[in-house]
A and B are shown apart, each in its own frame.
Chain A
Amino acid sequence: MPELLTANNVRVRFRTEGAVEAKFKGIADPFIDAVMEVSFSLAKGETLGLVGESGSGKTTLGRAIIGLVEAQSGSIRFEGKELIGLPAKAYKAVRREVAMMFQDPVASLSPRKTVRNLIIEPFKIHAIANRDHDQEVERLLEMVGLSNAYKGAYPHQLSGGQARRVGIARALALRPKVIIADEPTAGLDVSVQGEVLNLLKRLQAEQGLSYLVITHNLPVVRHLSDRLAIMYLGRFVEMGNTAAIFQRPAHPYTLGLLAAVPEPDPDKRRDKLELQGEIPSLRNRPTGCEFHTRCPFAQDKCLHEAPVYKEVEPGRFASCHFPFPDAQTAVIS
């Protein structure tokens, strides 16, 4: 499959102290790395899921791709064209082809615009002289399964699911090739989640879209994505085929995430917790393997030596000294 979007060793840093303040406090490196040397590729028609806890850098990575935050090093290529370092004006053209659906369906819509105006906003921003905006609005509303009657409604008059559909219509307006969907189902009821996921699936099949789905909801990516990347402290700790990862996760963090999802069955209650504690501060990354502070399988080696992110089986990457099934046997023996 031809690669549409590729990222190589992408790094996004944020300044934590001003230059003067840092000097005064004696901080040599007043930065945190929100995204650390991340590489992936996305083919046409493919869906890649980015999964991790809050603060793992998944949203930052998504925003770096469409230039809402600046990536400091590495390379992000869309159809072969380098995006890092692109001037703001040139980036605007990229955003016609790589669209973003933001978190929080209602808050991402301007409260003072009607649905019609929200949907034609992309055409205005990109100065696309369209003779018939109303026809476009109708086309897009129909595509996302909303009645034309909602044209005059304001966001506060919409339910979460309807607002999400408007967000999808906006993302689709300029016929993009890639959609970055940040938490597409967060805050929606279970039955509505299903509707939105079905819609995203259908649109992908109809238009050959590629999706980058950013979420902490594992059932959602399980349904939607072909491949999965698990992020922890800004790095990919595991990447591979979705079904394979769900079946046999290689990294203990992935295992912990999977085990944390409650099953809707009272006979399958969990007695022990796989993942204790919380994600450490980016200002204070743990030594060795950065996951060792929470890893139930951590060995001596993990405290001192950082594991290499490498291919552990064809198409599966992980950064762990004892990737499964090794880790399990290590614990049992």
Chain B
Amino acid sequence: MADATDNLLEVRDLAVEFRTARGTVRALRHVDLTVPKNKVVGIVGESGCGKSTLINTLLRLLAPNAAVPNGTVHFQGRDVLAMNETELNQLRGQLVSMVFQDPMTALNPVIKIGKQMTDILYRDRQSLSAKRDRASEMLRLVGIPDATDRLNNYPHEFSGGMRQRICIAMALMMNPALLIADEPTTALDVTLEAQVIHLIRELRSSFQCSILFVSHNLGLIAELCDEVVVMYAGEVVEQGNVRDLFHNAQHPYTKMLLECDPSRITEVGPELPTIPGTVPDLIELPSGCIFSPRCPKSFEECQRKSPDTYAIHEQHSARCFLTRDA
């Protein structure tokens, strides 16, 4: 593993729970996540796997009924879980910024783009015109023509793709150390998706920030990320660099997920592979491995106890007994 100072974000053995009327939802368990400097880390997983809970924990945006019974989150060496409000305000928006899923709802519809952009710079003691120059410069950078004039437009005057570009520009305005992109292209067409991914890749080199890219689109993960974390039902089941993960997946869930991606199909007709069964109830967890009820390769030990994380090599690990035995 790399030296701790090379890592921007380190999450160790994190657990998050939500208290509900039905019982305690154990949303995250034993989550380890490392985001090195200047790397793009992808988080893949299906709905309900805890992607959003994880991101919200990083920014301390959890709902009031949430608790963190275990684990640590360190950002640039500082303990996020112990930060006070002032420190958190610095973390959110300045050190870490976020691009959300839906560009239609992420922008305020009744405030002009220019105002929304310059508002982000409230920490800077600059003149408004200097801030507007910076805003139009950012718009130009993300490929919006006539940037200076368009500062006076409202969000509805931009197309969906443009709006997502604006959201990216806004996220990068403070030169954050970490950009979190939560399914940034689900609301866009394939052509615009390709453009936005291209843009993120270009900007990444000029802004020198790390990116945490959350998606369930395996194609985009393969396209953009250096390292990948696969989550299932609140656990990290496998992590490794993008090549290892796509070419040498170890965990049965990762393998099945890769197989059932419709973009792998090249002909009409044949039955698509699926993952039989459903995601387990996180209130009453199955004993043993979380994936064992759906796993075609599960054996007796899998039902009895939960596997640890086993390394395949230095940077590739999976939470599966088969990896231990291999």
Q: How far does the Cβ of B21 sit from chain A's closest Cβ, in whole Å?
A: 15
Chain A residues numbered 189-246 whose CB sits less than 8 Å from any CB in chain B: 189-195, 197-198, 201, 216-220, 222-226, 242-243, 246
Q: Pick the residue among A190, A226, A257 that contacts B257 (CB under 8 A).
A: A190
Contacts of A259 in B (CB 8 A): 194
A198 touches B197 (CB 8 A): no
Q: Is A79 an interface residue (CB 8 A)?
A: no
Residues on the B chain within 8 Å of A222, using CB? 265-268
A265 touches B161 (CB 8 A): no
Contact with A262, one of B222, B269, B275 (Cβ below 8 angstroms): B222
Interface residues of B in 196-223 (CB under 8 A from A): 197-198, 216-223
State which residues 242-260 of A face B: CB under 8 Å: 242-243, 246, 256-257, 259-260
A132 proximal to B (CB < 8 A): no
Q: How far is the CA of A156 from the CA of B246 in the complex (A)?
A: 35
Q: Which residue of B lies closest to A160 (CB)?
A: B47
Cross-chain contact A278 with B161 (CB below 8 angstroms): yes
Q: Give min CB distance, B140 to chain A, whole Å.
A: 16
Q: Is the CB of A264 within 8 A of B195?
A: no
Q: Which residue of B192, B221, B275 contacts A191 across the interface (Cβ within 8 Å)?
A: B275
A54 at the interface (CB under 8 A from B): yes
Residue A315 lies at the interface, judged by CB distance under 8 Å to chain B: no
Task: Give the total of B residues in contact with A, Cβ under 8 Å.
Answer: 47
B246 near A265 (CB under 8 angstroms)?
yes
Contact A197 B263, beta carbon cutoff 8 Å = no
B207 to chain A, nearest CB (A): 20
Q: CB within 8 Å of B: which of A18-58?
A: 53-54
* A263 CA / B219 CA spacing, docked (Å): 5
Instruction: Say yes or no: A190 contacts B218, CB within 8 Å.
Output: yes
Select one of A194, A220, A225, A269 contacting B274, CB under 8 A: A194
A273 within 8 A of B: yes
Residues of chain A with a CB closer than 8 A to B218's CB: 190, 264
Which chain A residues lie closer than 8 Å to B193 at the CB level?
260, 262
Interface string of B249-263 (1 = CB under 8 A from A): 000000011101111
Indicate whether A266 sits within 8 Å of B243 (C-beta atoms), given known contacts A189-B216, A278-B161.
Answer: yes
* A81 lies within 8 A of chain B by Cβ: no
- Cα distance A220–B272 when bound, in Å? 11
B195 adjacent to A263 (CB under 8 Å): no
In the complex, which residues of chain B have a beta carbon less than 8 angstroms from the beta carbon of A217? 190, 262
Flag if A197 contacts B272 (CB, 8 Å): yes
Q: Look across to chain B and name the residue whose beta carbon is closest to the beta carbon of A52.
A: B189
**B137 in contact (CB, < 8 A):** no
- The answer to whether A219 touches B258, judged by C-beta atoms less than 8 angstroms apart, is no
Selected contact of A190 from candidates B186, B262, B271, CB within 8 Å: B262
Given A189-B216, A191-B257, A216-B189, A261-B160 contact (CB < 8 Å): no
CA distance A22 to B218 in the complex (A): 48
Flag whether B264 is at the interface (Cβ < 8 A). Answer: yes
Do B260 and A190 touch (CB < 8 A)?
Answer: yes
B275 to chain A, nearest CB (A): 4
Residues of B266-323 contacting chain A, CB below 8 A = 266-269, 271-275
User: With an 8 A cutoff between CB atoms, is B89 at the interface?
Assistant: no
Interface residues of B in 144-179 (CB under 8 A from A): 159-162
Whether A266 contacts B242 by the Cβ 8 Å rule is: yes
Task: Provide the bound-state CA to CA distance between A194 and B273, in Å.
Answer: 7
Quick check: A198 and B219 within 8 Å, CB to CB?
no
B190 contacts A218, C-beta separation under 8 Å: yes
- A159 contact from B47, B247, B272, B273, Cβ within 8 A: B47
B266: which A residues are within 8 A, CB to CB?
222, 246
Would you call A53 and B222 a contact (CB within 8 A)? no
Residues of B within 8 A of A216 (CB): 189-190
Per CB-CB distance, the 9 closest pairs between chain A and chain B, nearest first, are A262-B219, A194-B272, A189-B46, A219-B262, A264-B218, A219-B263, A260-B194, A260-B190, A53-B189
25 contacts between A and B (CB under 8 A): A53-B189, A189-B47, A190-B216, A190-B218, A190-B261, A191-B275, A193-B260, A195-B272, A195-B274, A219-B261, A219-B263, A257-B190, A259-B194, A262-B197, A262-B223, A264-B218, A266-B222, A266-B225, A267-B243, A269-B222, A270-B194, A273-B195, A276-B195, A278-B191, A278-B192
Q: Which residues of B contact A (CB under 8 A)?
A: 46-47, 159-162, 186, 189-195, 197-198, 216-223, 225, 242-243, 246-247, 256-258, 260-269, 271-275
What 10 additional pairs, Cβ within 8 angstroms, besides A53-B190, A198-B272, A243-B267? A185-B262, A192-B274, A243-B268, A260-B194, A262-B220, A262-B222, A265-B222, A266-B223, A266-B247, A278-B162
